[in-house]
Structure 1
Amino acid sequence: MKAGPARDWVRAWLPGRSAVDARERWRALLGAAIGIAFTGLLCHLFADAVGDAVWLIAPLGASAVLVFALPASPLAQPWSVLGGNTLSVLVGIACARWIPDAAWAGAIAVGAAIGLMFWLRCLHPPGGAAALLAVLTHSTHFSFALFPTLANSVLLVLAGVLYNTLTGRRYPHVQAAPKQAPPDARFSQADIDAVLARYNQVLDISRDDLASLIQQTELEAWLKRASGGACFGAACTCG
């Protein structure tokens, strides 16, 4: 294999450069740390009071990444966090109780959890980990779905609402109602729907944000062309 193709093959596995600046990175990492600390401290106090040994679930770390680093993502919205984690743990508990083989139980739990999250519109990647966690720890009591799973998720969402609002991020990121496209628009809402239907994959961006980004990109390109044309005209006039 030549050096060129080999280098291109390796580069294809590497992520592209992030457009997020240092300030936003600090905002996200501090928010996640605060959210986990807030959730962990309160749940730890409650667990000590009732004598429960488990007070924080590992998949919540992944939920924190979504809530604080991607607050606009459909996968990070409150219902996705609450429903995705809690329902997936319930599926995992059911599989742990009634499927003897742990490997099969884990596989079925993750697959069933994804199907349930799709059906109830609460797709949340940490939910797959939550379902598998219930199987691997052989959690057979359905109360595990309430505490610590649901309690953790509720507190993390509350922390996300407060922190994201204070730091200038809209959370929950409510889907805006479709707007009528202006007469001079290059695309309509129906065009977006048609393209998304053909794409037929989960997008980690809301529909209204996607439309807004397309519109802003068109405007940016138009401004550059207009600015270049004005400069060219001025140069010709001066000449």
Structure 2
Amino acid sequence: MGRGRRRFTPVLAGATLRDRLLACGGALAALCVTGVLGALVVGPTAALPFLVAPIGASAVLVFAVPASPLAQPWPVVGGNVASTLVGLGVLALVADPFVGSGLAVAGAIAVMSLLRCLHPPGGAAALMTVIGGSVIAHAGPAFAFVPVGLNSVVLVALGWLFHRLTGHTYPHRTRRGDPAERRSRFRAEDVDRALAEIGETFDIGREDIGLLLREVETHALVRQHGEATAGDVMSRDVVRVEVHDTPETARALLLAHDVRTLPVLGPGGTVVGTVGLRELVRPAARVGELASPPLTATADLPALALSRALTDGRAHAAVIVDAAGRPCGMVTQTDLLVALCRALTDPV
């Protein structure tokens, strides 16, 4: 029975039931809106379809795997439009539908690869154009833009809005220039050599592979040496400022206590940001106007789990908060280094 259940496990890494249900809802809403807008533009009496079938496959990528290089706006729009144009060209030059179908899909792959807009539904767009009959033939090159291009642009726009509302990043952006990359035990060229050695193509960008491997390093470190919690290593004497304090007050506290980061407290004493000398170089009347988003954690988090966040060049300290969001300690880069040294020297 267990083996049977595993056969239905999602093959996508990181896929959760919540994400899949959200993807279903997003695709449902997007295709309905795309169809309505397409009908308004094409018109109810036009012979052209107002919604083309490959857009359904594009919706799977945009809503189910928004981080995929194949699901980004240029592949969706450029891939579908370019492939349709290839199909129209083959339709005009090749009479045999079987030969034409193969040539259209092969040509679409070549053109999308050259234009860096590889998009699997583009192959379906090229094939649909060849076998679509006289309606598409009479429409000519305009068919690639209305309805195909229109459908693609509307789908991308709705995908952007949907992922903004649900907390995903679309278009997908990988953090670049990460100092943690320079400190890790592998480099981008190592990823390139590994990919060349494996000899396979993966539906994930090289930068994302590097980011994933660095996260794996962090979690492996926590698993092997993660007994100490943030509460065990944190400094409990927290120097803090209020949102309405002046920058001069914050600067004086930083220098007097020889610290690099101060939590900024809002109403109820909750942490709403952090401030250091880097933020205080900008002019402002109140500290709250200068505060950066805080790096926070709970006391029961393994201390080494903070290693990536405290080495990415963005934060010098993590604010440890209680259940109400009030500060109860600080874990600095020095605290983390001490915890790491203890973990690596303690007998197993």
Same fold (TM over 0.5): yes
Moved over 6 A (4+): none
Q: What's 1:88 paired with? A: 83
Q: How does 1:113-128 map to 2 (within 5 A)?
A: 113-128=108-123
Q: Is the 8 A contact 1:80 1:124 kept in 2?
A: yes
Correspondence for 1:222: 221
Q: How does 1:1-239 map to 2 (within 5 A)?
A: 17-18=10-11, 19-48=14-43, 51-138=46-133, 139-140=136-137, 141-181=140-180, 184-227=183-226
TM-score, structure 2 normalization: 0.59
- Aligned letter for 1:168? G
- Answer yes or no: is the 8 Å Cα contact 1:164–1:171 preserved in 2: yes
The structure that has the greater radius of gyration is 2
The alignment's C-alpha RMSD in Å is: 2.5
Higher mean alpha-carbon deviation, 136-145 vs 34-43, is at 136-145
Matches of 2:191 and 2:132, distance apart in 1? 44
Q: Which has the higher contact order (CA 8 A, sep 6+)?
A: 1
Partners in 1 of 2:121 and 2:206 — Cα distance?
A: 22
| DSSP-derived class of the 1:172 partner | coil
Task: Please say if residues 84 and 124 of structure 1, whose CA atoms lie closer than 8 Å, have aligned partners that are also in contact.
Answer: yes
User: What residue is the counterpart of 2:257 in the other structure?
Assistant: none
Tell me, in whole angstroms, the C-alpha distance in 2 between the residues paired with 1:15 and 1:207.
28
2:206 is matched by which residue type in structure 1?
R
Structure 1's unaligned 5+ residue stretches are: 1-10, 234-239
TM-score between the two structures when normalised by the length of structure 1:
0.84
Question: Structure 1 residues 15 and 131, CA, compared in 2 at 3 Å: closer, same or farther?
Answer: farther
1:15-41 CA distance string (max 9 Å, x none): 754442221111111111111111111
Q: For 1:130 and 1:227, locate their aligned partners in 2 and report how far apart those are by CA, in whole Å.
A: 51
- For the structure 1 residues 90 and 15, does the alpha-carbon distance in structure 2 shift closer, same or farther, using more than 3 Å as the test? farther
Q: Which runs of 5+ in 2 are unaligned?
A: 230-341, 343-348
